Structures are given as C-alpha cells and as structure tokens.
Amino acid sequence: MSANPSLLVRALLGDDTPLRTDLLALALTHRSAGRANNERLEFLGDAALGLVMAEALWSRFPDADEGELSRRRAALVNKDSLAAVARELRLGDYLRLGPGELRTGGHARDSILADALEALIGAVYLDCGLERVRDMVLRLFAERLARVAGEDAVKDPKTRLQEWLQGRRRPVPEYSVVDVSGAAHDQQFAVTCRLADTGAESRGLGSSRRRAEQDAAGRMLAELQAGSHD
C-alpha cells in the first residue's frame, strides 16, 4: 500500500471509525500478491452489496416488479459502476499487487478495482456489521441511486437509441469497429455508429467493443435529440 490506509477507511465510512488492520490489509491484497488475498472477502462483500441495493430499490420503487428491480440493480451493481466508485476513493493507490500486475497497470484495471471494493465491503461487514455496510453503500452510491430513478437510466444507450429510431419508423443503426489500439491487456476500441437512412455517423471509444458501441450510441442519441423538435 503506497498511501495512508486510514484515509481510505475515512473515505469509506465517512468518519474516523477504525477498521481491523488485518481485514483491511487482506481486502487490499490481490491474488497476484499471494495466497492470502481478497477473493473470499470479495465473495462476502458482493452478497452484502447485493442485499443492500435490493433492499434500497425495493423500498424506493414499491410498484416495480421483479424484472424491473433486477434491471435497476444491474445498472447499479456492475463492474463499471463499482470501478468508478473505487476510482472516486482512489482505491488503486492502496492495492497490494504482484510484480506482474504492477508492471501491467493492474491498479487501474476495472476488474481489480471492482473486486477490491467488494472485498472492502466484506471487511466492513465482518468488523462493523450490516447496518454500517448499509450506511456506507447508500452514501457511496447515493448519486447513482438517484440516477436510476428515471426509466431511461436502466436502459443502455444502444437500447435508448434503437427505441428512439423505431418510434419514428427509422431503421436501426449499424456499428463498425474502425480501430483497435493498445496492448492486449489494455486495448482501446473505436467504433462508429451509422444511421442507414441519413448516413450520419458518431464515433465512440471504450476498453471493449461493447463499451465503444455504447459510447457511440450515446453520442448519436444526444445529437438526434438536440436536433429534434418533437
């Protein structure tokens, strides 16, 4: 750990409540660094996070059926959103990684960050209990919970673009990969989204083809909505 872990605990819990140093160290240790690592805590934290989010959505959306609640939870609890929260906490500065992961930038990889955040949730659960986990998760995810209150928030940009076009009886867009750059472990995809009826194009970037397509679709939808008067 290259930074003061007490600062991380303060950011997690919102105060100066201590967290057991053995649990904290374990939660921040990737499997590449040794046999004693955060995978078991990650398993526990994933379950605690899922429960808190399910409970929060159940309370906030009393008329939603199981399918809608599941979609909203998926929009909240996924690798991208967990990694984003982890970056807000500067979690990568505290990780203990093996030499290989250090060389290849593992401290910035979405999967490693997301897993470490879940492991920290597991550590807090073991040391402080579910109520403290609930308080922590609802605070860390407050803005994201607010965003999923809108129906569109649970639909990805490709779905929203397709629905926007179909509602106007226009053909679905076409996506093409135009460039792939970077090393194998850190690739960057460039994708175009093209409208067959007008030839209009947008370009999206992402660490996978799917993310690049979503980025391109979001940009296209924003352009269409900006120019629409209906």
Domain extent for 98: 5-150
What values do phi and psi take at 151, rounded to 5?
-60, -40
Residue 222 shares a structural domain with residue 195: yes
User: Is residue 186 domain-shared with residue 87, that is, in the same domain?
Assistant: no
Domain count, the chain: 2
pTM of the model: 0.68
Residues 204 and 221: beta-carbon distance below 8 Å: no
Same domain, 34 and 101: yes
The pLDDT confidence band at residue 61, using thresholds 50, 70 and 90, is: confident
Is 153 a residue whose pLDDT tops 60?
A: no
Q: Residue 100's domain is classified under what CATH number? A: 1.10.1520.10
Q: Which parts are annotated binding residues for Mg(2+)?
A: 42, 115, 118
User: Are 190 and 126 in the same domain?
Assistant: no
pLDDT band at 229 (very low <50, low <70, confident <90, very high): very low
**Cα–Cα nearest to 194, from 210, 177, 169, 211:** 177
Give me the pLDDT at residue 230, please.
Answer: 45
100 plus 137 within the same structural domain: yes
Q: Are residues 134 and 168 in the same domain?
A: no
User: Do 41 and 70 share a structural domain?
Assistant: yes
Catalytic residues: 46, 118
pLDDT band at 2; cut points 50, 70, 90: low
